[in-house]
Amino acid sequence: MLEVRDVHLSFGGIKALQGVSFAAKPGEITGVIGPNGAGKTSLFNAISGFYQPDRGQVFFGGNDISHLSPDRRAEMGIARTFQNIALFRGMTVLDNIKLGGHTRLRTGLWSALSYFGPARREELELRREIEEKVIDFLEIDHIRKYPITILPYGLQKRVELGRALAMQPRVLLLDEPVAGMNREETADMARFILDVQEQFGITVLLVEHDMHMVMDICSHIVVLNFGQQIASGTPAEVSGDPGVIEAYLGAAA
């Protein structure tokens, strides 16, 4: 489904990624972990097209997408959320979710047909159905008209997930979805991520520092340290890996 092959990325002298290779299994949740500065966000940016790797490729559905723009990758079905919430703060919950649907449907067949009234109406109807499905799924009906600014942090993160889901993604990249959340918000978000995978069969790639959550919900984990992939395997395999323990203890020391 989604594969990175030997991806290298540097910023001046800093080697953010040094030969990272792995495949996210279709319909499963893959976690990417590693100490601060390990290269996790850089990896997400390389996958979603915000950064161009110096070397290596990104494959999606068997096609090399390394040279496609972020927009094009989003249209193909790669959606993401950001470490710092990237919602339109002055707008309502519903309007933010509508923007997700707009990204996915604005090109291709729909835009070609949308000169014509009936197709335009069908497009709007389809979008509305998707929006309602997402709002219902994330249990945010009661806040749909609220501006983002007045929502507690946990709900803002949930709306951001909603905007990504409205894109009807095939792959969802979540950058620290529970960072800054309290225990209850974290448990809610973990449940929604599991449901995304179970109910919609969406492939999820997740960067997260909350180790309990990663171990609980991921079927496969990739570990980065100083841009290098130091381990990859099931939660049990990576948590018992001496190199991983060393990287975390070293970072904590």
Residues that bind ligand ATP (CB under 6 A): 11, 14, 16, 34, 36-42
CB of 7 to ligand ATP, least distance (A): 12
Toward ligand ATP, which CB reaches closer, 131 or 175? 175
Q: How many CA atoms lie within 13 A of 245 on its CB side?
A: 6
Toward ligand ATP, which CB reaches closer, 41 or 203? 41
CB of 141 to ligand ATP, least distance (A): 33
Toward ligand ATP, which CB reaches closer, 16 or 247? 16
Toward ligand ATP, which CB reaches closer, 9 or 105? 9
- The candidate with the shortest Cα–Cα distance to 142, out of 93, 98, 85, is 93
DSSP code, position 241: -
CB of 38 to ligand ATP, least distance (A): 4
* Identity of the residue numbered 214: V
Can you name the residues that pair with 172 across neighbouring β-strands? Answer: 79, 204
The Cα–Cα gap between 49 and 230 comes to 24
CB of 203 to ligand ATP, least distance (A): 20
Toward ligand ATP, which CB reaches closer, 42 or 203? 42
CB 85 within 8 A of CB 178: no
CB of 39 to ligand ATP, least distance (A): 4
CA 35, 16, 45, 242 torsion-angle sign:
negative
Toward ligand ATP, which CB reaches closer, 34 or 53? 34
CB of 82 to ligand ATP, least distance (A): 11
The Cα–Cα gap between 79 and 173 comes to 6
DSSP of 151-187: S-HHHHHHHHHHHHHTT--SEEEEESTTTT--HHHHH
